[in-house]
């Protein structure tokens, strides 16, 4: 009997001690929370531009550094074709405006930066703003201990469906490339083929140069159209009806030719036809919509709401395809995505090699969250990129999966980045010239 009383007393004492410990831990956690709430909001201490070219394309990232030790964020500001202009835009204009501002007011900082130049919607300024904007979202995620998609409202899907690029100088080569991607699990493949003798887009050229009265790269629209139609006729026969096929016209047709291309491709049931018009000709989308049921994607060259708003508002495209840094970052992209949801226009953000892994991560976090996601362009990361950008999104079975660490989940090794500096070339990253046989410049 005495032994049972001793054991009972010991148990009671142990319980009391545990309760005291638990109470002390709870008190400590509560004190910590109060202290955190009482701390001043971190301020922007510095803006730093990181430049590198790990696979040829010149990538630019803005690092926003706060006055709190170890707290910073990264944002993509890549504008490969005018890459040398982004750093001065950040250093000379945004840094004096933003240093000393608190990092929590992302919307206010975006509006302040956007309006600060008076003349707005230019690609240099938009990319600089994007670098800051995405970096502030990264910081907010790090402060909250959450990936950015959680800050946006959480996942609407588990992974991000992708499309890959199949290309070849000959139709058979393009189809073979598509089969390889299908074997990896891709359900969507963009198909591009070279046109003999021409400087095409997205595929190497085959054959001898077609006749022209100039010496520069040459393109002829009717020949390119016939080649594209032959590609998709063969692709449907060999790849079957289930694979989703995409094609990029790359804005090389006149408006009336674009209508005919969209009509001719109907029989091959494309997932979408991309950039069948140039931004200068977007008023013609209503004519294409009236004449053809081919789904349309547009937007990678857009910088301004004046370009994408009418197409989304009037449901003249099926997929918005803007480049996140060209439109100013995550903040405007999430708003336009919400507009598209109301209008039943889905997303297909521009994701080529001249987007940094930070930019790809930003797109993927937004893709995971929104309900009108359509498809995401896939560009693989090479070993040099993975050495610089630690924690890039992972592709498995034709889907991208985000890193679930706080913010974008990516850290940059600046020493590795320095091993891959910008390389000079005659056009300094810009596009070359392509002409019709008579010598007229065409859009591309």
> Along the 444 residues of the chain, how does pLDDT read in single tens digits?
444 444 445 444 444 434 443 554 454 444 334 334 557 899 999 999 999 999 989 999 999 999 999 999 999 999 999 999 999 999 999 999 999 999 999 999 999 999 999 999 999 999 999 999 999 999 999 999 999 999 999 999 999 999 999 999 999 999 999 999 999 999 999 999 999 999 888 888 878 899 999 999 999 999 999 999 999 999 999 999 999 999 999 999 999 999 999 999 999 999 999 999 999 999 999 999 999 999 999 999 999 999 999 999 999 999 999 999 999 999 999 999 999 999 999 999 999 999 999 999 999 999 999 999 999 999 999 999 999 999 999 999 999 999 899 999 999 999 999 999 998 888 888 888 999 999 999 987
Q: Do 365 and 149 touch, CB atoms closer than 8 A?
A: yes
> Using CA atoms, how far apart are residues 91 and 439, in angstroms rounded to an integer?
41
> Using CA atoms, how far apart are residues 128 and 91, in angstroms rounded to an integer?
10
> Using CA atoms, how far apart are residues 347 and 355, in angstroms rounded to an integer?
17
pTM of the predicted structure, to 2 decimals: 0.90
Q: Which of 102, 151, 110, 150 is nearest to 128 (CA)?
A: 110
The encoded tokens of residue 156 equal 């609407």
Largest Cα–Cα separation, the chain: 113
The encoded tokens of residue 390 equal 């630690």
CATH number of the domain that residue 351 is part of: 3.20.20.120
The whole-number pLDDT of residue 11 equals 45
The encoded tokens of residue 61 equal 């990232």
Its domain, for residue 156, covers: 151-406
Residue 188 domain-assigned? Answer: yes
> Using CA atoms, how far apart are residues 324 and 300, in angstroms rounded to an integer?
9
- Sign of the alpha-carbon dihedral angle for 233, 237, 239, 241: positive
Residue 237 domain-assigned? Answer: yes
The whole-number pLDDT of residue 423 equals 87
Q: Do 263 and 291 touch, CB atoms closer than 8 A?
A: yes
The whole-number pLDDT of residue 37 equals 54
The whole-number pLDDT of residue 29 equals 44
Residue 294 domain-assigned? Answer: yes
Q: Which of 158, 418, 269, 382 is nearest to 149 (CA)?
A: 158
Residues 6+ apart with CB under 8 A from 144: 150, 151, 406
Residue 419 domain-assigned? Answer: no
Q: Which positions are catalytic? A: 201, 250
The whole-number pLDDT of residue 201 equals 84
Residues pairing with 65 in the sheet: 46, 72
Residue 182 domain-assigned? Answer: yes
The whole-number pLDDT of residue 421 equals 96
- For the chain, the three-class secondary structure string (H helix, E strand, C coil) is CHHHHHHHHHHHHHHHHHHHHHHHHHHHHHHHHHHHHHCCCCEEEEEEEEEEEEECEEEEEEEEEECCCCCEEEEECCCHHHHHHHHHHHHHHHHHHHCCCECCCHHHHHHHHHHCCCCCCCHHHHHHHHHHHHHHHHHHHHHHCCEHHHHCCCCCCCCEEEEEEEEECCHHHHHHHHHHHHHCCCCEEEEEECCCCCCCCCCCCCCCCCCCCCCCCECCHHHHHHHHHHHHHHHHHHHCCCCEEEEECCCCCCHHHHHHHHHHCHHHCCCEEECCCCHHHHHHHHHHHHHCCCCEEECCCCCCHHHHHHHHHCCCCCEECCCCCCCCCHHHHHHHHHHHHHHCCEECCCCCCCCCHHHHHHHHHHHHHCCCECCEECCCCCHHHHHHEECCCEEECCEEECCCCCECCCEECHHHHHCCCCCCCCCCCCCCCCECCCCCECCC
The whole-number pLDDT of residue 35 equals 35
The encoded tokens of residue 212 equal 């022209």
Residue 49 domain-assigned? Answer: no
Cβ-based neighbour number of residue 370 at 10 Å:
21
The whole-number pLDDT of residue 38 equals 58
The whole-number pLDDT of residue 228 equals 96
The whole-number pLDDT of residue 379 equals 96
What is the total count of domains within the chain?
Answer: 1
The encoded tokens of residue 264 equal 């001719």
């Amino acid at each position: 009997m005495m032994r049972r009383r001793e054991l009972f007393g010991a148990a009671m004492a142990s319980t009391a001690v545990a309760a005291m410990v638990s109470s002390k831990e709870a008190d400590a956690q509560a004190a910590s929370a109060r202290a955190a709430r009482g701390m001043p909001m971190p301020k922007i201490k510095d803006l730093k531009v990181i430049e590198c070219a790990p696979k040829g394309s010149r990538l630019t990232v803005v690092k926003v550094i706060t006055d709190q030790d170890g707290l910073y964020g990264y944002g993509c500001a890549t504008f490969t074709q005018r890459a040398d202009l982004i750093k001065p835009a950040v250093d000379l204009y945004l840094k004096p405006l933003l240093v000393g501002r608190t990092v929590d007011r992302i919307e206010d900082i975006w509006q302040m930066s956007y309006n600060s130049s008076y003349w707005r919607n230019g690609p240099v300024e938009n990319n600089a703003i994007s670098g800051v904007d995405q970096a502030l979202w990264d910081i907010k995620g790090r402060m909250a201990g959450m990936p950015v998609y959680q800050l946006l409202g959480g996942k609407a899907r588990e992974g991000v469906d992708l499309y890959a690029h199949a290309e070849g100088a000959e139709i058979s080569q393009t189809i073979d490339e598509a089969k390889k991607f299908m074997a990896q699990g891709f359900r969507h493949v963009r198909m591009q083929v070279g046109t003999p003798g021409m400087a095409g887009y997205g595929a190497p050229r085959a054959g001898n140069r077609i006749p022209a009265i100039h010496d520069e790269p040459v393109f002829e629209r009717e020949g390119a159209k016939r080649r594209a139609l032959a590609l998709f006729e063969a692709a449907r026969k060999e790849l079957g009806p289930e694979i989703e096929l995409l094609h990029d016209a790359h804005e090389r047709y006149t408006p009336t030719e674009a209508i005919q291309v969209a009509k001719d491709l109907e029989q091959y049931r494309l997932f979408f036809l991309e950039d069948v018009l140039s931004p200068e000709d977007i008023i013609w989308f209503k004519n294409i919509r009236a004449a053809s049921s081919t789904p349309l994607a547009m937007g990678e060259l857009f910088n301004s709401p004046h370009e994408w708003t009418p197409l989304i508002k009037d449901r003249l495209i099926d997929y918005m395809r803007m480049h996140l840094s060209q439109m100013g970052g995550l903040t405007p992209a999430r708003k336009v995505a919400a507009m598209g949801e109301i209008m039943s226009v889905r997303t297909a953000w521009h994701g080529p090699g001249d987007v940094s892994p930070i930019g790809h991560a930003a797109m993927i976090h937004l893709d995971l969250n929104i309900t009108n996601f359509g498809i995401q362009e896939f560009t693989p990361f090479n070993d040099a990129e993975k050495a610089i950008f630690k924690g890039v999104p992972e592709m498995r079975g034709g889907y991208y999966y985000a890193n679930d660490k706080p913010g974008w989940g990516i850290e940059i090794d600046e020493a590795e980045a320095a091993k891959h500096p910008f390389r000079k070339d005659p056009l300094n990253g810009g596009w070359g010239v392509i002409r019709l046989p008579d010598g007229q410049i065409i859009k591309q």
